[in-house]
Amino acid sequence: MTLMIIEDYHKFKFGGFCTEEWVFSNQFYGTGDNFVFTFKDKDNCERWDATGENSMFQFCDRTGFGLGGGIHGGRFSLYLGNDLWRGSSATTECFNNECLSSSTDFDCIDLEVWGFE
C-alpha cells in the first residue's frame, strides 16, 4: 500500500492511496480500494473513491505513473511523469473526481510517499 502527497507550484496539496505495489506494466491494475484526494481549501480533505465505472485504478510504465484512468482521451485522475516534476490531473470515470491540482497540468514542488505493508 502506498500513500502519495504532492504539492504543486500554487501550493495545492493532493494525492492518492493505492493498495498494490507500483510495478511497470502495460495494463492497469490495483483494486477499488484506491482513492484520490485534495486539500484545495487547505483545511478539509475532499476524497473520491472508485465509482465502479471502470477498473483503471493504477498504472505505471517507464514514462510515469498514475491513478484513476479514463477511457476518453487517456487521462488520469492523478499522473506524475518519471521526472517526478511534471504531472496532470483530470476528471475520470474511475473516481469521478474534480481536478485535484491548481490546474490540469502542474509542476510538482514537493512529493511525499509513504509505503505500508
Question: Would the pTM of this model clear 0.85, i.e. be above it?
Answer: yes
What's the burial of 114, exposed, middle or buried (CB within 10 Å: 0-12/13-18/19+)?
A: exposed
At residue 74, the pLDDT reads 75
Query: Based on the structure, what is the number of domains in the chain?
Result: 1
> What's the chain's average pLDDT?
94
Q: How many CB atoms are located within 10 Å of the residue 112 CB?
A: 11
Q: CB count, 10 Å around CB of 8?
A: 20
Domain that holds residue 63: 2-115
Q: Residue 35 and residue 29: Cα distance in Å, rounded?
A: 13
Render pLDDT for 64-114 as a digit per residue (tens, 0 to 9).
999 999 887 679 999 999 999 999 999 999 999 999 999 999 999 999 999
- Residue 34: pLDDT above 80? yes
